[in-house]
Amino acid sequence: MARVRSPAERAAGRLIAAVQKEWHAQLGEPGAEVSEAAMENASALLGAVKDNSLHAVLRGQSVAEFIGILWVRKHPGVLPAIRAFEAAALEGHA
């Protein structure tokens, strides 16, 4: 039987997709490694939600800070996904 994903896991998946879209657009360009790091950080958030360690992983940072605040500022298209993830993750831990 397929595992049912929580709202926070679904929001993390959408966040990963949003970051991945930006990462793919930059492949082969200078600075693409920063987008790759943002992608890895977004993926780490999904793992943290799955094993209930989000607060420990974030260590007091916002999601934008964890992903990379300068990267997020250069890629504001990911902000709706960040906000949705934060809302879903907080709802699950309220």
Report pLDDT for 94. Answer: 42
Q: Which helix (H) or strand (E) holds 55?
A: helix 54-58
- Which CA distances in Å does 63 have to 2, 7, 35? 28, 16, 15
Report pLDDT for 92. Answer: 55
First-to-last CA distance in the chain?
A: 29
Give residue limits of the domains in the chain. Answer: 7-93
Mean pLDDT by 10 residues, the chain (94 residues): 83 96 85 89 96 94 96 96 94 56
Q: What are the structure tokens assigned to 93, written together?
A: 């831990």
The model's pTM: 0.88
Report pLDDT for 2. Answer: 64
Report pLDDT for 90. Answer: 77
The span from the CA of 58 to the CA of 42, in Å, is: 11
